[in-house]
Copies of this chain bind each other. A is one copy, B any other.
Amino acid sequence: MSPRPTAAPPPGPRIRSARSGPPTLEEVAFAAGVSRSTASRAINGGAKVSPRAQAAVDDAIARLGYAPNRAARSLVTRRTDSIALVVPEPDERILADPFLAGTIRGVGNALAATELQLVLLIARPGDGQGRTLRYLAGGHVDGAIVVSHHRGDALEAALAGGGLPAVFVGRPFRYRAELVYVDVDNVEGARIATRRLIDAGRRRIVTIAGPKDMSPGLDRLAGWQLALVEAGAGPRRSAVAHGDFTLAGGAAAMERLLAATPDLDAVFAASDLMAAGALGVLEAAGRRVPEDVAVIGFDDLGVATTTRPPLTTVRNPVEAMVRDAAGILLSLIAGGERPPGPRIHDAELVGRESG
């Protein structure tokens, strides 16, 4: 019983505390004149609680400014009411920052309607299996959304067990049937971009591909190849240069391409940032865009409109994709069935001036 000494400390100076900590359920119950159990019931769901008791508790909560202690609750319910967003360390070679921002926005939106909190886990590369995995396995979150991982990420293996509900954003490099993921249709996106180039009469279409250890890099390269094959033009080895999704990487790749295939008249870059890098090199080489060389990028996450000329690109619906992932995760956590296959979002061509 003893509802804790309600001694009066110096007039509670600030927002919370200065008293002996935030109010507890015990105090709420006391203030409402009911038992702890009833107060608890009134707070959660309110089934089997008389309107009178409910009102009393609600009132007490408001008066005291009560907020349930998450730790205590989670200790008994075994739920944490928070999910992890696992992102790779945003190093130099990252897909570009806008991607991260879009991701966060998407998850944030999806979670806004719930009481779930977002715990950001930055998977540091050197860390390997360490911290992140331990945290995830430690039952500190109810589920996880994993973004943009590289080949060999231990996460995939660890999460494949299905112990923890998890959804990947972007096809896991090493696919396993148990893994749930959402993605943009990278192959198709690259295909339609390349197709546009072909339809415009370009004859020597090269590509700046992404890293070989990231699925978007691979898939976009495949789409480019596919389009060429469909058009009856087998791609040439010298027409591919790998970049690392950065501006500088794109520029370097463009230089290699120019050297290997001087007669190129179009380039499909696997990311806008790389396309931007290519633009610079092209200009320095005296090639006009799009007159001499058409350029198409991928992502449309911001950079595409800042370049000159503005980039024709393929829209990567990050936000919708991530919101989707969050929705699936929520359902998984609620005990829903694992969706039969990945959820692939359409990639849409955005025509601008570069190609």
Give the B-binding residues of A (Cβ under 8 A).
13-18, 21-22, 65, 67-72, 74-75, 78, 80, 82, 85, 87, 89-90, 97-98, 100-102, 104-105, 108, 112, 117-122, 124, 134-135, 137-140, 158-159, 161-164, 247, 273, 276, 279-280, 283, 301-303, 305-308
Contact = CB atoms under 8 A, between A and B. Distances in A.
Contact of A137 (B65, B68, B82, B105): B65
Nearest to A108: B122
26 contacts: A13-B162, A15-B163, A16-B137, A16-B139, A65-B137, A67-B134, A67-B139, A69-B75, A71-B71, A71-B74, A75-B75, A89-B108, A90-B101, A90-B104, A97-B102, A98-B101, A101-B101, A105-B122, A108-B120, A108-B124, A118-B119, A247-B306, A303-B306, A307-B307, A307-B308, A308-B308
A305 B162 contact: no
Contacts of A101: 90, 97-98, 100-101
A347 to B, nearest CB: 20
Contacts of A14: 161-163
Contacts of A22: 137-139
A106 to B, nearest CB: 10
Q: How many chain copies does the complex carry?
A: 2
A122 B104 contact: yes
Given A13-B163, A303-B306, A306-B306, 14 more contacts: A13-B161, A15-B137, A15-B161, A16-B139, A67-B138, A69-B75, A75-B75, A85-B120, A97-B301, A98-B101, A101-B101, A108-B124, A117-B135, A120-B120
A105 B124 contact: no
A15 B158 contact: yes
A283 B303 contact: no
A131 to B, nearest CB: 8
A16 B22 CA distance: 34
B164 A21 contact: no
